[in-house]
Amino acid sequence: MYLPSIFIFLTLTLAHVCQGQIKSKSGEFNLTSPLDDGVYVAGQQLPITYIILDSGSRLNLNIYFQPAPGVNSTGIIIAQNADVSEVAGAVVIINGRSYWQHTYNYNIPANVPQGNFFVIFESVNTNINTSVPVIIRPYVNMTTATASSSISASIASPTASSNTHNSMAISLQPILSLLLAAASISLYSLVYY
């Protein structure tokens, strides 16, 4: 009797989690990246994307990169007075409404130690912070890695690049919600009809 309701609830919850947006604690913007507990590599880029929800909100936003307790590193300012402009080039349409999306590609310093960090979005007007936990893996010297991989490449069989796999996973993320919903409806039909 309650099984169909629970099944639909779990499906919708899973689809929402897969969508990947984090609502700011102040309610003024949503974050689409970095991913919550996403894994990034020192010496590479950390994508930061946020969507301004309220036109004319007078949002004043700062973005910081802070180590978690126990990580031997200092905090870094990514953007002081981050871009919150409402210009035509930043407009995105979501569910028939116009919002403003802004992106930073922060270059994680190669000397940042591995460990847990937070990307902190500070709403200066409301004094409310929204923190996104991320995991930083150690820097890999690509020159050394390329030289050693070319030696072993003649021995090993070809495999897909992990970067290709990760970028495909990120680009398929919005479609995943639809696929999960379709699969859930199909499974529900098979079980109850």
Which CATH number goes with the domain that contains 51? 2.60.40.1930
Domain count, the chain: 1
Give the pLDDT confidence score for residue 144 in this predicted structure: 63
Instruction: Answer yes or no: is pLDDT of 101 > 70.
Output: yes
Residue 124 belongs to some domain of the structure: yes
Instruction: Answer yes or no: is pLDDT of 27 > 70.
Output: yes
Euclidean distance between CA atoms 31 and 25, whole angstroms = 11
Euclidean distance between CA atoms 88 and 91, whole angstroms = 5
Q: How confident is the model at residue 58 (pLDDT cuts 50, 70, 90)?
A: confident
Give the pLDDT confidence score for residue 148 in this predicted structure: 52
Expressed as residue numbers, the domain containing 49 is 21-151
Q: What is the pLDDT of residues 115-166, one digit of tens each?
A: 999 999 999 988 899 999 999 999 988 776 555 555 444 444 333 323 333 3
Q: For residue 51, what are the CA distances in angstroms to 17, 133, 187?
A: 17, 19, 35
Give the pLDDT confidence score for residue 117 in this predicted structure: 96
Give the pLDDT confidence score for residue 185 in this predicted structure: 57
Q: How confident is the model at residue 184 (pLDDT cuts 50, 70, 90)?
A: low
Euclidean distance between CA atoms 174 and 18, whole angstroms = 8
Per DSSP bridges, beta strands 61-67 and 76-79 are antiparallel
Euclidean distance between CA atoms 166 and 27, whole angstroms = 30
Range 49-57 average pLDDT: 80
Give the pLDDT confidence score for residue 142 in this predicted structure: 75
Give the pLDDT confidence score for residue 14 in this predicted structure: 37
Instruction: Judge if the upstream peptide bond of residue 34 is cis by omega within 30 degrees of 0.
Output: yes
Residue 43 belongs to some domain of the structure: yes
Residue 11 belongs to some domain of the structure: no
Residue 170 belongs to some domain of the structure: no
Q: What is the pTM of this model?
A: 0.64
Euclidean distance between CA atoms 68 and 17, whole angstroms = 24
Residue 175 belongs to some domain of the structure: no
| Arithmetic mean of pLDDT over the chain | 74
Total Cβ atoms within 10 A of residue 130:
22
Residue 141 belongs to some domain of the structure: yes
Give the pLDDT confidence score for residue 76 in this predicted structure: 94
Residue 7 belongs to some domain of the structure: no
Range 28-32 average pLDDT: 90
